[in-house]
């Protein structure tokens, strides 16, 4: 038997709601998920780390909008490298509806690596500085 109701809803009556950003804490040092939860800016920081650590289209569990498409080995020259890393990071992170923009990129080069620093602007939780090694 199919449940019946006298109340009919139309699309005009539905309002979009913002989903909570609460999630389980990820312990980077030990590579474990904790039973504790995080919310707000800490949840966004964790999401940024996970997005930039996940290759897009590699895992079926994630949608095609999740992850990054970084391929630093395919780029030659510092100017092109910096431009491409900036594009990759922006495209990956702005898929998250909590992040409004990514800006202020700076690069620090080592022997075989580059550290990328940038500012993440969130819609509700403010801004923060992130650093990733490429």
Kindly report, residue by residue over 42-55, the tens digit of the pLDDT.
999 999 999 998 88
CATH fold of 20-133 reads Nuclear Transport Factor 2; Chain: A, (3.10.450)
- Dist. CA 71–CA 66, nearest whole Å: 16
- Dist. CA 100–CA 9, nearest whole Å: 32
- pTM equals 0.78
Kindly report, residue by residue over 60-86, the tens digit of the pLDDT.
888 888 888 887 677 788 888 889 899
Rg (CA), the chain: 19
The residue behind tokens 């950003």 is 21
Helix (H, G, I), strand (E, B) or coil at 74: helix
């Amino acid at each position: 038997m199919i449940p019946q109701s006298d109340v009919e809803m139309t699309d005009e009556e539905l309002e979009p709601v913002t989903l909570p950003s609460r999630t389980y804490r990820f312990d980077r040092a030990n590579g474990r998920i904790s039973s504790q939860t995080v919310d707000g800016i800490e949840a966004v920081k964790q999401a940024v780390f996970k997005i930039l650590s996940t290759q897009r289209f590699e895992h079926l569990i994630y949608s095609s909008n999740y992850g990054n498409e970084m391929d630093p080995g395919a780029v030659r020259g510092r100017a092109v490298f910096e431009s491409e890393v900036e594009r990759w990071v922006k495209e990956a992170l702005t898929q998250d509806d909590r992040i409004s923009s990514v800006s202020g990129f700076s690069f620090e080069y080592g022997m075989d690596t580059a550290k990328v620093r940038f500012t993440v602007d969130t819609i509700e939780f403010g801004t923060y500085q992130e650093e990733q090694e490429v």
